[in-house]
Structure 1
């Protein structure tokens, strides 16, 4: 049952151009025809406005099957939940409808997917033409901007009035039940909310990368561990790319200062001004409603002080705690906070919008993930061990640099060096990795262009790409025995891969 008092008393922060609560009057031109006895003065129903905002921001997913629509939305604590509307005969049944916001999500679903309310459908489509011309979800910043624009207000008010009137006229006739709803597995009908088309059927990516991306879509704290050169950093970048998120990077290194990580106060003609570093920039972007990925590369190369700054930043608080701390009113959910040193400003970021992905190298030559401060390790929701990519995944990358036979030889040499290190009782300081192999092939390709055969080019390129990385230095020169071991192994590889010895 819709709670009218709660609907009008709801605090909605998404439309500052018209207000965030209280008695805000709407123009008489927006009055719905569904209730001929309606009064001429109309007040913004903030619960309905919250429902509209959730859809425009992409927080509501839809799955249609026959006459049943399942929606995935957010509850008061910003946790995912499922609600449903089912058409049976001439009636409708609502599952888990709540009393303030969710009923209006179900009314929109009825209009768009079950043709239950032509007036609402028409008014909704007019709003979408103004708000989402490309059918994509809005950022919180963009929705804030739109709320100040006349064309958007003129499209929004009629939707709000029809939603409120629909709830008043039809809400009492809906059967309501509470139940655990099954996960439909996919929500291909979601684009229809914003004027798009149903997505083609697709299977879920259950790979480690796919699961990380799915978690990051709602905010995640993840640690990627693995040998150097296995693509941990690139994986973090791909997560941001797949999500369409802003990417902010920090490279761990000894001697990093506050100005390099958090920010600094800079003198200007107008007086001292704060300049955001990567950490502050990530928090500020998320505070402004932008989905953001903070990528901390080589986490354990940060000094203990800056690791502690990160630990403090990843302590999340509730919306109520944030209000007590800063006096700000924000939607229900969890928030990270970051105090800017010497500035006095405290930034806050929704945990649903800010993902923190850290990388660290493991192996005998690197700081071990097991040495991470337990206080920091506890803050990661997900720890992934990233190994070397499979041959079928990496070979196309190598083949784009040089021919198939040379690429096979370089990959075979890379694999062999993994068991030629001092850790295995052999001579190499460290094994080849993807970056070294790519440099090796690029150097060899350049030598082929000068007239060398592929085999000659790979032999010549070894000394300026692979040897400096894999072999330890003795008095400024690479270890002779280790170099010889590499040269012998390369000859075996060239023979096995049948690399051309004639240009």
Structure 2
């Protein structure tokens, strides 16, 4: 895999990504950044972790490099590799190395999906050393001012599969993010989808009912992201129940009895 395929993108966030704080997370993150502390964002899928880090990159005026982690992500995808070109062999920095050199915020999304040997390369960047050794070139980089390492994962989902080692977890300041309280979630759904308040309240009420099924056979519960998608479809003219089927019910389950139960909840919510 080419190095550039490992990174979703480096952006200077010029326009403020809209984010509705649910607690003291903004101030806490600002203090972590000022002190060069690595941060772990924990929370369920679609609760706003990525939007939060985009908002903070804008607020702090730092470039943001986002890396989606997966099973095939190797250390060389983060650090870089030698490439053969027409004029010889040249070194190309990976996204993590670029972030270290340029003082960017480096965000590893769903970090536990990466291989353990890949995660180990982060260790020297998460303590007082703030170093990145590049074995292939013999170079050891000191992180530029403004560099910060941020990782995220879904502890509820990952606990059933794999988790971070304690030696890795204790290198991060942990911030627990969750779905916002109903009244705040209504405002978020309204703002992001353009829905009217009454319909947004209905979607949030539906989500609250479905989230109670978390331990009753439903592996994932509806995220705020799914509610926004349903709202956007409804605003575009799609029937509200059909929008809920496409954006909420179908993404959550394929099991017939569960799908039927979810449809019943949709019908009961939007009489």
TM-score scaled to structure 1, two decimals? 0.46
Q: Is it true that 1:231 corresponds to 2:51 in the alignment?
A: no
Residue 309 (1) aligns with residue 103 (2): no
Q: Which runs of 5+ in 1 are unaligned?
A: 1-205, 287-291, 318-335, 449-456, 472-477, 496-503
Number of the residue aligned with 2:13? none
Aligned to 1:266: 83
In the other structure, the counterpart of 2:255 is 479
Q: Does 1:275 align with 2:78?
A: no
Distance 2:177 2:184 in 1: 14
1:295-343 Cα shifts (integer Å, max 9, x gaps) = 11111111101011112333433xxxxxxxxxxxxxxxxxx11122422
Task: State which of 337, 340, 356 in structure 1 corresponds to 2:131.
Answer: 337
The match for 1:284 is: 101
Which of 178, 196, 207 is the equivalent residue of 1:387? 178
How many residues are paired up? Answer: 248
Inter-partner Cα distance in structure 1 for 2:256 and 2:46: 25
**Alignment partner, residue 447 of structure 1:** 237
Mapping of residues 173-212 of structure 1, within 5 Å: 207-212=24-29
Show the counterpart of 2:143.
349
C-alpha separation in 2, matches of 1:368 and 1:225: 15
Structure possessing the higher relative contact order (Cα contacts under 8 Å, 6 or more residues apart): 2
| Mapping 1:287-436, distance limit 5 Å | 292-317=104-129, 336-350=130-144, 353-363=146-156, 365-367=157-159, 371-380=163-172, 382-400=173-191, 401=193, 402-421=195-214, 423=215, 426-436=216-226
Aligned position for 2:36: 219
- Find the structure with the greater CA-based Rg: 1
Is residue 81–residue 91 contact of structure 2 (8 Å, CA) maintained in 1? yes
Q: TM-score, normalised by structure 2?
A: 0.83
Whether the aligned pair in 2 keeps the contact of 1:265 and 1:343 (CA below 8 Å) is: no
- What does residue 494 of structure 1 align with? 270
Residues of 2 paired with 1:260 and 1:434: CA distance? Answer: 31
Residue by residue over 1:165-197, the C-alpha shift from the partner in whole angstroms, topping out at 9 and shown as x without a partner, is xxxxxxxxxxxxxxxxxxxxxxxxxxxxxxxxx
SS of the residue 1:230 aligns to: coil
Aligned equivalents of 2:162 and 2:80: distance in 1?
30
User: RMSD across aligned C-alpha pairs, in angstroms?
Assistant: 2.3
Deviations 1:206-247 (A, max 9, x none): 812222123313322111111111111222222211110111
